Structure 1
Amino acid sequence: MATRIFIDGAAGTTGLEIRERLEGRSEFELLLLDESQRKDAGARKTALSEADIAILCLPDDAAREAVSLAEGTGTRIIDASSAHRVSEGWTYGFPEIVGHEKIAGARLVSNPGCYPTGFIALVAPLVRAGLVPADWPMTVNAVSGYSGGGKALIERFESEGAPAFRAYGFDMEHKHRPEMKLHSGLEHDVIFAPSVVPAYRGMIVEVPLHLGAMSTGACADDLRNSLAQFYAHSPVIAVRDKADLAEMTLEVSAAPSDAMELFVFGNEGGWHARLVARLDNLGKGASGAAIQNLNIMCGLDETAGLKL
């Protein structure tokens, strides 16, 4: 019997991509609401109760409302919003970091944010390995395509006179910061410098490190080797070899992808390092991660339906 899936918020960017990916898969039956029912609480509650798994592609407040509507139903939930990423009782939906078995058995799964996906993928394994101190003051610089910013930002970038570069988050209160800190095992908040460029999709997340000032004695090669070992069996995340990095420049691809590449660049001696993650903000950073989590929760191959 096919697993019944309800996408609450299927009209948004992430929801549309998830729906398109699932429509051709026989393992799933999509429960759909017409346009007139999309914001009707009663219709949504019925769909939530009838679904085996609901995927929430909603603003935070609407996602919390959906969870309330689903109370007592037993419906499993994947929340693609940021509403529950640091909430007690929710499993963080980053299988490479938290473990596939936790997601497989979870009822409530919170999809990681796009920027935190790159940051946590780079930092969490190194903190666990003791190569980067948990109390190190972390800075992350990141640039993303505009599709992750919602309808208003998409319209702005696709209109005449669109900005060439948009930096934001200067109040130091960006909602991704608690997620980065908690799931990387850090003791201090992260200084996060996000920005958007006139590309529809794609993302580069960078963490600069002054390894020579750390007490661990690790160099860039140590970090790269540790990450390569950590992700050795991942079909989604690849760590690029040192030999691939000579004279390299990084570009954001416009092609959809659910993969993520990690790079460790170091100077001579390796005491200065730049950790870089390249991913698709709508792929591993959003809809691709939701599909990966859905596959795991249903006992399927985690890469089924992914664009790798």
Structure 2
Amino acid sequence: MSDQTHPTAGARPRVFIDGEAGTTGLGIRTRLDELGLVDVISIAPEKRKDADARREMMRAADLIILCLPDDAAREAVSLAASLGDEAPRVLDASTAHRVSEGWTYGFPEMAEGQAEAIAGASHVANPGCYATGAIALLRPLVERGLLPVDFPVAINAVSGYSGGGRSMIEDYEAARAPAFELYGLGLKHKHLPEIRAYGLLARQPIFVPSVGNFRQGMLVSLPLFLRDLPGAPSAADLHAALAAHYEGARNVAVAPQEEADAGRIEALALNDTDRLDIHVFGNAEHGQAVLVARLDNLGKGASGAAVQNLRLMLGV
């Protein structure tokens, strides 16, 4: 599209994806092309690092989506801000601004009023994939007093290798990578700040991520000793609290309690969807429960969440 003036009234919104060639950017572009609700304007490949060319793309857009490394995302925000009154709204898919002042966290189902906050925000930070699953489990329990803010929380998770970036994808697809591995064992994974902030935790959780030899799909699990929680709630109590929180949510659902009887769950069931499902497994005899969030790390964990936020921000 060569015309780079802002659209007139009634025209479809224009969106510029800065970093369109990456995994998340490609996923967003595919979804937007399929929906046909906006016009995606693209920069010539040889000008992707040309600041002046990118600024003109930003000037032409109603909204820009940043699919960049953190430092590059910060630079892009400054570049957009230099346009003053012509600056577009910004949706950042990097880690750079997820807990930054002035940014709205892009998890619409997280809390009452969050979708409305996203719709009215000029700067929205798209959540991390692991963080989406963890916060989906934690926040409703903390808000209802079932989980103390200072409770010693441990979170385990497994993702498909597509969440690890280009080099990991290449290693797995060339059969150079192990079938399964834990990582982030320095206990300072980049998603921890947003998990703590939006999970409403006063204490740093232990988070142990892992990657398996499958392209996409994710399980995030939260094990709990129920007798150590206030009032010693049952697994059914936790299920009821989660179900109440997500009642009527478009993309998040709590599985019926009877589904937990199978005692197993696989990671790939929601692939190529933008959904997140929550499952509650419990053992009353031992007073234990395991809560599991299942999602596609490229769907509700990345590109799908970005498109959901874009639709809220642009009202399409």
Q: Same fold (TM over 0.5)?
A: yes
Partner of 2:57: 47
Aligned-partner SS, 1:141: strand
Partner of 1:23: 33
Q: Distance in 1 between matches of 2:169 and 2:284?
A: 42
What is the aligned-residue RMSD (CA, Å)? 1.2
User: Aligned residues: percent identity?
Assistant: 52
Partner of 1:10: 20
Is the CA contact 1:133–1:216 (under 8 Å) kept in the aligned structure 2? no
Is the CA contact 2:263–2:281 (under 8 Å) kept in the aligned structure 1? no
Partner of 1:154: 169
Counterpart residue identity of residue 4, structure 1: R
Consecutive unaligned residues in structure 2, runs of 5 or more: 1-10
Of the candidates 28, 32, 39, which is equivalent to residue 42 of structure 2?
Answer: 32
Alignment TM-score, normalising by the size of structure 1? 0.95
Aligned-partner SS, 1:55: strand
Is the CA contact 2:279–2:292 (under 8 Å) kept in the aligned structure 1? yes
Partner of 1:303: none
1:121-160 to structure 2, matched below 5 A, reads: 121-160=136-175
- The offset of 1:269, in angstroms, is 4.9
Is the CA contact 1:130–1:216 (under 8 Å) kept in the aligned structure 2? no
Q: Distance in 2 between matches of 1:157 and 1:218?
A: 42
Q: Does 1:204 align with 2:219?
A: yes
Is the CA contact 2:146–2:230 (under 8 Å) kept in the aligned structure 1? no
- 1:131-173 per-position Cα deviation (integer Å, ceiling 9, x unaligned): 1111101110000001011101111111134211121111111
Is the CA contact 1:221–1:270 (under 8 Å) kept in the aligned structure 2? no
1:229-240 to structure 2, matched below 5 A, reads: 229-240=244-255
Q: Does 1:68 align with 2:81?
A: no
Is the CA contact 1:63–1:83 (under 8 Å) kept in the aligned structure 2? yes
Partner of 1:106: 121
Alignment TM-score, normalising by the size of structure 2? 0.92
Aligned-partner SS, 2:262: coil
Partner of 1:91: 104
- The offset of 1:270, in angstroms, is 7.3
- The offset of 1:56, in angstroms, is 0.5
Q: Does 1:276 align with 2:286?
A: no
Rate the CA distance shift 1:24–1:251 in 2: closer, same or farther, 3 A.
closer
- 1:66-112 per-position Cα deviation (integer Å, ceiling 9, x unaligned): 10100023310110001000000000000111421100100000000
Q: Distance in 1 between matches of 2:183 and 2:163?
A: 14
Rate the CA distance shift 1:125–1:86 in 2: closer, same or farther, 3 A.
same
